[in-house]
């Protein structure tokens, strides 16, 4: 037994603690394939400081440049006081945001974020420009490498931060520009008038959350978007024709992707206001089905439930102020009620939409109840779903740490099940090809056993707010049948749960096509180029195996492909994607048009072996 003595007690300095426990500061590390991976949190932590400057009235633009491994962020705010630049980026709990007269409603309140970026980067350089003078300091892994004297400059006031995430921590990472662009769009929606230039592409919003909904809705609005503005609050809402609810929530310009007290209050207030306006006790689900809404509030000294600030925990608008819930209730019940009284045509269209949802809910209520009972009776944990232990060992929502693989066939699901990390990775087994759900109503979800059990396993029947897994991974063979299954599953999610894709939960698992090996070394190759490189590396007559399906990969091998070196391709919906038109063309009944498309784009390849 080891001796427990004074020597056992260790005190880590700030950078050592951050590097040993990065999850406390930026959530998970990741390799850039997920929107909430650490490399994007690092960008956000630097940007938050620039946004806070803009919110206080300083600097109307931000310039951002991204290469494969480096990010540069230049704002035109006041610039950090030159004598404090070193302290701000290397001393914990140092910053101006503890002084509420300087930063009243900022995002970064804990004085930690920029230090985490410094400590977790192999190169971190900050330059402050202030009143014709400049100060530049460089670090590596949080260690000071160079500090310049204060020099004169012709640069405008502001701050420039250039950093490269440490490849020892973020292994094989790469930036996904679409994830960065989504972040930047949210920043400009929340800060009307701010210009952000990203790799020569400009982001700007004139109408705030109204622009957000116009650019993100996947179906046509049932009625014109309702846009409500007040002191410290902005709301935009309408109803679409999709299933489920879609929400975008923000606090002090921070995208709270997991919602929180403000979103819960808005959803309650929406139902109450509509019930009162129409003087009818609608079921809450009928009011909220197909709603698309965005809400932004500004709170003094907000409390978030994690360092990554994805869920608001604050109960009050300020330390001694009105509660968040009451503030939102007062605003919504007054302003939305006034809007509906003044816009009778919108009020009629909204009522019709609610009544249609009510009619459909009642039509499938019997089927829905039977389906729920069936899902409960089926032993998911032994039949369809091999869950992960993380959901059994804690009462907390641990979805951010878990993954579920959706696969087809006993052999494939068996290999993944045997090789997975049972703590955080679950497996759901499909039986054969799923149904093409395009053009079908949600009734089919409850009548079809596969989809009914899948939505029960994911816990998304009432929306994705309580989804049990952060990553939903489609794991199918890399052949025509596998591609078809992928397409059918993506169609299902687009049709009934589009926000699962919009919120970056859906992925495609990439598995190797080839195994190239000799007696000394084995190399797994994901494409023809990697195979050729392996052949060059291994020399004469290596053994080449072409994997024709997931079931051919042994569990011992599979663990290499779903472990720390897992390759995932995110399924991304871009704002220019016309979902309805895409589904109609690829999944609808326009057979001649689709046949012509296939013929025109047919590529015949030689056997790649």
Q: How far apart are CA 236 and CA 257, in angstroms?
A: 17
Work out the pLDDT band at 576, boundaries 50, 70, 90: low
Q: How far apart are CA 550 and CA 553, in angstroms?
A: 5
Highest mean pLDDT among 29-33, 479-483, 523-527: 523-527
Nearest-CA neighbor of 497 among 532, 535, 456, 533? 456
pLDDT digits (tens, 9 = 90+) for 156-200: 999 999 999 999 998 888 898 888 998 999 899 988 899 999 998
Query: Quick check: helix, strand or coil at residue 508?
Result: strand
Lowest mean pLDDT of 60-64, 94-98, 419-423, name the range.
94-98
CA 545 to chain centroid, in Å, comes to 36
In this predicted structure, the answer to whether residue 90 has a pLDDT above a threshold of 90 is: no
Classify strands 403-408 and 471-475 as parallel, antiparallel or unpaired: parallel
pLDDT digits (tens, 9 = 90+) for 587-604: 777 677 767 777 776 655
Pair of tokens at residue 185: 């769009």
Lowest mean pLDDT of 391-400, 487-496, 580-589, name the range.
391-400
Q: How far apart are CA 496 and CA 492, in angstroms?
A: 6
Classify strands 567-570 and 543-546 as parallel, antiparallel or unpaired: unpaired
In this predicted structure, the answer to whether residue 100 has a pLDDT above a threshold of 50 is: no
Mean pLDDT of 264-280: 95
Nearest-CA neighbor of 459 among 587, 372, 342? 372
Q: How far apart are CA 156 and CA 298, in angstroms?
A: 29
Q: How far apart are CA 315 and CA 320, in angstroms?
A: 10
Q: Which residue has the tokens 């959530």?
A: 27
Which residues fall within 8 angstroms of residue 253, CB to CB, at 6 or more apart?
A: 48, 51, 55, 107, 187, 190, 191, 296
502 close to 246: Cβ distance less than 8 angstroms: yes
**CA torsion sign, 196 to 199 to 202 to 203?**
negative
Higher pLDDT, 591 or 350: 350
Lowest mean pLDDT of 43-47, 68-72, 366-370, 391-395, name the range.
391-395
Beta bridge partners of 250: 255, 296
Domains of the chain: 14-203 (3.30.565.10), 209-361 (3.30.230.10), 378-511+549-580 (3.40.50.670), 514-546 (no CATH)
pLDDT at residue 111, rounded to an integer: 54
| pTM across the whole model | 0.72
């Amino acid at each position: 037994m080891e001796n427990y003595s004074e020597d056992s007690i260790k005190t880590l300095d700030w950078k050592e603690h951050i590097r040993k426990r990065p999850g406390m500061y930026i959530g998970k590390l990741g390799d850039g394939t997920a929107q909430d991976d650490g490399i994007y949190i690092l960008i956000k932590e630097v940007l938050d400081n620039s946004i806070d400057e803009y919110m206080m009235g300083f600097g109307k633009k931000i310039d951002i440049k991204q290469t494969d491994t480096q990010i540069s962020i230049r704002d035109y705010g006041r610039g950090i006081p030159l004598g404090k630049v070193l302290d701000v980026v290397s001393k914990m709990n140092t910053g101006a945001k503890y002084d509420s007269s300087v930063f009243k409603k900022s995002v970064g309140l804990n004085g930690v974020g920029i230090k985490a970026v410094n400590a977790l980067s192999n190169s971190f350089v900050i330059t402050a420009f202030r009143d014709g003078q400049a100060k530049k300091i460089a670090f590596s892994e949080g260690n000071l490498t160079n500090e310049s004297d204060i020099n004169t400059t012709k640069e405008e006031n502001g701050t420039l931060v250039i950093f490269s995430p440490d490849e020892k921590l973020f292994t094989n990472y790469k930036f996904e520009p679409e994830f960065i662009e989504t972040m930047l769009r949210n920043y400009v929606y929340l800060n009307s008038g701010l210009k952000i230039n990203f790799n020569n592409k400009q982001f700007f919003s004139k109408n705030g959350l109204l622009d957000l909904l116009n650019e993100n809705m996947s179906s046509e609005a049932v009625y014109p978007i309702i846009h409500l503005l007040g002191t410290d609050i902005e709301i935009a809402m309408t109803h679409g024709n999709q299933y489920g609810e879609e929400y975008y929530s923000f606090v002090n310009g921070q995208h709270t992707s997991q919602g929180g007290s403000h979103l819960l209050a808005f959803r309650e207030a929406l139902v109450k206001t509509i019930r009162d306006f129409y003087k009818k006790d609608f079921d809450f689900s009928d009011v909220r089905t197909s709603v698309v809404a965005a809400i932004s509030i500004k709170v003094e000294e907000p409390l978030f439930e994690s360092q990554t600030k994805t869920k608001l925990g604050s109960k009050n608008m300020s330390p001694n102020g009105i509660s968040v819930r009451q503030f939102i209730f007062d605003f919504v019940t007054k302003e939305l009620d006034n809007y509906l009284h003044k816009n009778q045509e919108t009020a009629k269209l909204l009522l019709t939409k609610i009544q249609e949802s009510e009619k459909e809910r009642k039509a499938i209520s019997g089927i829905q109840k039977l389906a729920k009972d069936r899902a409960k009776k089926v032993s998911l944990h032994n039949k369809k779903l091999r869950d992960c232990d993380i959901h059994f060992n804690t009462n907390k929502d641990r979805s951010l740490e878990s993954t579920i693989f959706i696969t087809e066939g006993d052999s494939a699901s068996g290999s993944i099940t045997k090789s997975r990390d049972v703590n955080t990775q679950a497996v759901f087994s499909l039986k054969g090809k799923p149904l093409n759900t395009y053009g079908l109503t949600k009734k089919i979800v409850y009548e079809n056993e596969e989809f009914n059990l899948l939505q029960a396993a994911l816990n998304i029947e009432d929306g994705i707010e309580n989804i049990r897994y952060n990553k939903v991974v489609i794991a199918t063979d890399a052949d025509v049948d596998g591609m078809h299954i992928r397409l059918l599953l993506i169609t299902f999610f687009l049709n009934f749960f589009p926000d699962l894709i919009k919120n970056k939960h859906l992925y495609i698992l990439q598995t190797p096509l080839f195994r190239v090996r000799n007696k000394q070394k084995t190399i797994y190759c994901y494409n023809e180029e990697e195979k050729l490189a392996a052949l060059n590396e291994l020399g004469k007559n290596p053994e080449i195996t072409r994997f024709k399906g997931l079931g051919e990969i042994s569990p011992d091998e599979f663990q290499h492909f779903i472990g720390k070196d897992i390759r995932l391709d995110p399924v991304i919906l871009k704002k220019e994607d016309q979902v309805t038109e895409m589904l109609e063309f690829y999944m609808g009944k326009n057979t001649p048009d689709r046949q012509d498309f296939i013929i025109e784009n047919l590529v015949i390849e030689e056997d790649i072996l």
